[in-house]
Structure 1
Amino acid sequence: MNIKQSLRKISFFDVITILIASIVILFILSVVVMLIFKGIASINKEFFSKEIIFALTLSLSTASISTIVCLLFGIPTAYVLTKTKIPFKRFFEVLIELPLSLPNLVLGLSLLLIFASPFGKMLSEAGFRVIFSKAGIVMAHTLVNLPFVIRMIKTAFRSVDKRLEFIAQSLGASKFKSFLLVTLPLSRNAIVGAVILAWSRALGEFGATLMVVGVTRMKTETLPASIYLNIATGDMGAAMSSAVILLIISAASLFLFNCFQKDMR
């Protein structure tokens, strides 16, 4: 088929959709290019500053811890919702996914109310301090990302052929062994993808974190908080450096996620 024949087969609808897609691509490309163009000059000066290193270290550590927590709680919860028969299962599914439709500021406010209550004060006195602490950042990340992780893993578990699990159990494997040897390996790529996206989302989370721990320089200053603080004080160089770092990490995370998605096809 030559180029002329290909062009004849392009309909008016194709032309319209291509134009709309081009506008979307140019819009997003302009945002990325502007961040890189404005930030690349600043990152050389600001990257090794104490503030940027502190914000990057805090962001990486809290995002990693919260992602591990999401995984530890997300896998068993997804199993219960897909592989067991419990009453009110549909209600619990809706309840767990409700935070996905709420603004992160509202989620942060709910955490603030919980840990500012007498119960929260008891936990603080016992040594588990959340408000205005690093533990609060992890808690905020977990609340934002846990429903997302559960949803992705739940979809993966549902796609596993039940006959394979039945065969494993009919050959003498317990439910746990069947889950360990059949369900988890077949869901591996989806779980890894959920971990990558949850970690990336945690790095960029700001609304819930702001409500729980505030924005204190060199104490609760994550990369998004660093952008907010430096914009507020007029330090565009430091703000752009944090933004470029987030852009690079997000791009790398998305590349890894797409690699695992290709393996799933």
Structure 2
Amino acid sequence: MELDSSTSAVVTGGASGLGRASAEALAGKGVKVAIFDLNKEAGNAVAQAIGGSFHKVDIMDEASVEDGFAAARAAHGQERVLVHCAMASKGGKTISRDKETGAFKRMSSEDYAFSAQGILVASYRVASIAALGMAGSEPVNADGERGSIILTSSAAAEDGQIGQVAYGSLKAGVNGLVLPMARDLMDLGIRVNSVMPGIFATPPMLRFKEFNEKMWDALNASVPFPKRLGRPDEFASLVLEIAANSYLNAQKFRIDGAIRMPPR
């Protein structure tokens, strides 16, 4: 697929981190980018900087997502690329100790369900709404391609650590969407792939550096090569290749400097 001014994209979580880097990289190719995020101030700032548009969207809410896509399409036309980076999750071990009573407690089903909504259901919601729009559009090339859907999973999908029972299993679920969804959409010319980032220097990690530099250095040293956290622009570079390369379909791409997460 050609990435130029004739192409439109939607990036969820585009106000910061991996989403912002993806939005900036796509815009750098001339793509018209719509940013979905809850952070209006940051989202508008990024949109203005890249010549795109911002739409306040809650990925947990069906109507909010549908309204966001309608507004993005009104601004830029039918998106051909979706990059889904936004998520919501709660952490916790399956069984842990209550700090007050010392008794065993379990991660509640409600907390797990919240994470399922914020990771897995939201991924399906955003991807399927994008696919519905793409399906009714004209192909963009001789292959009959109509769009590229790129979901964000995590290295935790394969290396889930202690306290990541929800995050790890549900990011694995995002990977599980890829093949059946790609097969569902193959006759429509819509590709589906996921990216599994390792530890990246996103704003939450950079804040972590401020109060625990020793741990920050240990995290960098834990990456086999290069011995540093990933840069958001490196994630975005992979996003560009997946979007542009029409032969990449139904794949899960790990980008992590060869790290394999220990239990903790």
> What TM-score do you get using the length of structure 2 for normalisation?
0.23
More helix by share: 1
More strand by share: 2
> What TM-score do you get using the length of structure 1 for normalisation?
0.23
